[in-house]
């Protein structure tokens, strides 16, 4: 087993709260009666409805795995029907991002009949790198860790930037979430297969599976699995948030520093989440497009916390009902983890490709008090994994001095939230930085 080569500066040790669900095997949720499939579940160009669906609109019959929407743009990923049934609505629907986005609502017929187009892509030996990329793209696979960047794009680096290392991200550094942990325990072979496919597609030399050392069972399973592999190793990562952040993970596993403002391919690395590896494996081995995922439903507000495998498009309401419903004391509903997840005004939002968890926090865990003036303790400076000055950037943004915010490297912030977490004055630092970043982008695009 590889050990971390270096440690990244900064980071925090929040209460992990993973014990509620880390020992619970993944349960498959029965097919929901209704799914809502947004046309945008990824970073990049939104999908356009396919002609046949659009033409018939309501009433058209679809099969499981049938493509519903696509976009010709390179940075995009198609979406597929997660169930078989009838399209009952096409129109704007609430999205976890907090907006209304064009979506297809399908009523399940309960039969789960798969589309004829679903068939295995072939075995890995016979597939070319291009075949793999095409399969991944057609399956609509995006980064399942939450960033939802189309996976085939990461598998298509420009020729002048050869990739030698593929890193599989099993850090799962967000508190509460255990979905990746369970996937590593229960779908480890798929992870290995997916990794091999990526290595082949990229012509890489080496694969590294990085797992935080608070998941010793996952480390052990992965380690046993790769024992026979010459070029694949497991790396035990120190448990520290945000260990799973792209740049931190690359730094700790390979010692390479991704230059500010650049992508990992700049240092010859591509990394993918464990869930993405599983999805790629299923796409190649079974021809299955990305229509379901594993997510953790947890938090003190959930009656029966669980790791659930659900069809995409299932409404959070239905998933929560499957987990025994919410407690009266629930005060915050979050899609994703507690550090970077999005709080929702209502549970009527669909599970999308990037939904790694549904978290219900109660009045006991939700911080409501107001912030007080900055005492310049600089704890935010010392926890920032990007080595920024969060308090100064936030102050500049608050004063509308976006030039200064930019000079203080606001654009390098990836919004992990360590600064807001640690602040004794409870200043929403990362919120101000987000405002600053949005303004800087607006100005630079002019």
Partner 1 sequence: MIINGKLVVSSSPHIRSVESVQSVMTDVLIALFPAALMAVLLFGYRALITMIIAVLTAMLVEAVWLRKRDIFNDGSAAVTGLLLALILPAAVPWWVVVVGSASAIIIGKQVFGGIGYNIFNPALVGRVILVVSWGGHMAGDIWSTPHPFAFGFDVSTVTGATVLASPEKAVTFSLPEMFIGTIAGSMGETSALALLIGGIWLVYKGHIDYRIPGGFMATVFVLGVVFGGGFYGNHLMTGLFHLVAGGVMIAAIFMATDFVTTPVTPGGRLIFGIGCGLITMLIRLWGTLPEGVTFAILLMNALTPIIDNFTIPRQFGGVNNSA
Residue from 155, 192, 339, 351 in contact with partner 1 (CB under 8 A): 339
User: How would you class 177 by CB atoms within 10 Å of its CB: exposed for 0-12, middle for 13-18, buried for 19 or more?
Assistant: buried
Stretch that binds partner 1, among 89-97, 115-123, 285-293, 367-375 (CB under 8 A): 367-375
If binding is defined by CB under 8 A, does position 402 make contact with partner 1? no
Stretch that binds partner 1, among 182-190, 192-200, 230-238, 379-387 (CB under 8 A): 379-387
Q: How far is the CB of 213 from partner 1 (least distance, A)?
A: 22
Using the structure block, give the residue that is written with the tokens 């940075």: 75
342: left (phi over 0), alpha (psi -120 to 50) or beta: beta
Which letter, b or e, does each residue of 397-418 get, where b requires 16 or more Cβ atoms within 10 Å of its Cβ? beeeebebbbebebbebbbbbb
If binding is defined by CB under 8 A, does position 424 make contact with partner 1? yes
If binding is defined by CB under 8 A, does position 382 make contact with partner 1? yes
> Binding residues for partner 1, how many (CB under 8 A)?
78
Angle, to 10 degrees, between the axis of helix 179-186 and the axis of helix 274-286? Answer: 50
* Binding residues for partner 1 restricted to 343-362, rule: CB under 8 A: 343-347, 359, 361
Residue from 126, 368, 370, 445 in contact with partner 1 (CB under 8 A): 368
**Between residues 219 and 361, which has the closer beta carbon with respect to partner 1?**
361
* Binding residues for partner 1 restricted to 218-247, rule: CB under 8 A: 247
**Between residues 205 and 378, which has the closer beta carbon with respect to partner 1?**
378
Say how many CA atoms lie within 13 Å of 289 toward its Cβ.
27
Going by their DSSP bridges, the two strands 165-170 and 206-212 should be labelled as parallel
**Between residues 402 and 421, which has the closer beta carbon with respect to partner 1?**
421
* Binding residues for partner 1 restricted to 161-220, rule: CB under 8 A: 175
The rounded distance, in Å, linking the Cα atoms of 100 and 414 is 24
Positive/negative CA dihedral, 414, 420, 423, 425: positive
The rounded distance, in Å, linking the Cα atoms of 224 and 221 is 5
Contact pattern from residue 12 through residue 41 relative to partner 1, giving x for each residue in contact according to CB under 8 A and a dash for the rest: x-xx--------------------------
Q: How far is the CB of 238 from partner 1 (least distance, A)?
A: 17
If binding is defined by CB under 8 A, does position 365 make contact with partner 1? yes
If binding is defined by CB under 8 A, does position 258 make contact with partner 1? yes
Helix (H) or strand (E) holding 237: strand 232-237
Residue from 132, 221, 302, 388 in contact with partner 1 (CB under 8 A): 388
If binding is defined by CB under 8 A, does position 260 make contact with partner 1? yes
User: How would you class 62 by CB atoms within 10 Å of its CB: exposed for 0-12, middle for 13-18, buried for 19 or more?
Assistant: buried
* Binding residues for partner 1 restricted to 81-100, rule: CB under 8 A: none
If binding is defined by CB under 8 A, does position 392 make contact with partner 1? yes
């Amino acid at each position: 087993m590889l050990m971390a080569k270096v440690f990244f500066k900064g980071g925090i040790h929040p209460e992990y709260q993973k014990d509620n669900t880390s020992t619970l095997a993944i349960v498959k949720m029965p097919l929901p009666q209704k799914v809502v499939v947004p046309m945008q579940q990824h970073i990049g160009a939104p999908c356009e409805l396919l002609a046949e669906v659009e033409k018939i609109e309501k009433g058209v019959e679809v099969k499981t795995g049938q493509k519903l929407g696509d976009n010709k743009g390179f940075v995009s990923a198609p979406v597929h029907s997660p169930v078989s049934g009838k399209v009952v609505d096409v129109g704007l629907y609430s999205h976890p991002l907090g907006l209304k986005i064009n979506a297809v609502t399908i009523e399940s017929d309960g039969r789960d009949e798969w589309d004829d187009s679903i068939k295995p892509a072939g075995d890995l030996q016979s597939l070319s790198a291009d075949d793999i990329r095409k399969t991944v793209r057609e399956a609509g696979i995006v980064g399942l860790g939450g960033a939802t960047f189309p996976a085939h794009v990461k598998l298509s680096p420009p020729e002048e930037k050869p990739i030698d290392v593929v890193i599989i991200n099993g850090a799962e550094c967000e508190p509460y979430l255990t979905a990746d942990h369970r996937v590593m325990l229960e779908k480890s072979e798929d992870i290995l297969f997916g990794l091999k496919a990526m290595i082949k597609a990229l012509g890489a030399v080496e694969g590294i599976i990085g797992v935080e050392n608070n998941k010793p069972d996952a480390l052990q399973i992965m380690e046993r699995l790769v024992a026979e592999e010459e070029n694949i190793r497991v790396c035990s990562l120190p448990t520290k948030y945000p260990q799973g952040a792209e740049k931190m993970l690359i730094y700790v596993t390979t010692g390479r520093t991704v230059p500010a403002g650049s992508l990992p391919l700049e240092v010859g690395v591509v990394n993918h989440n464990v869930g993405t590896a599983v999805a790629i494996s299923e796409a190649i081995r079974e021809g299955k497009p990305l229509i379901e995922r594993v997510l953790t439903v947890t938090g003190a507000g959930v009656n029966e916390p669980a790791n659930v495998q659900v069809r995409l498009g299932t409404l959070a309401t239905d998933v929560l009902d499957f987990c025994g419903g919410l407690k009266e004391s629930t005060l915050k509903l979050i899609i994703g983890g507690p550090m970077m997840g999005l709080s929702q005004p209502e549970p009527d939002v669909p599970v999308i490709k990037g939904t790694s968890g549904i978290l219900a926090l109660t009045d006991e865990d939700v911080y409501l008090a107001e912030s007080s003036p900055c005492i310049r303790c600089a704890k935010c400076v010392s926890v920032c994994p990007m080595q920024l000055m969060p308090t100064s950037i936030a102050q500049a943004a608050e004063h509308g001095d976006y030039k200064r915010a930019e000079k203080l490297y606001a654009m390098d912030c990836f919004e992990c939230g360590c600064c807001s977490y640690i602040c004794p004055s409870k200043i929403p630092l990362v919120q101000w930085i987000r405002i600053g970043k949005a303004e800087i982008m607006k100005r630079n695009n002019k």
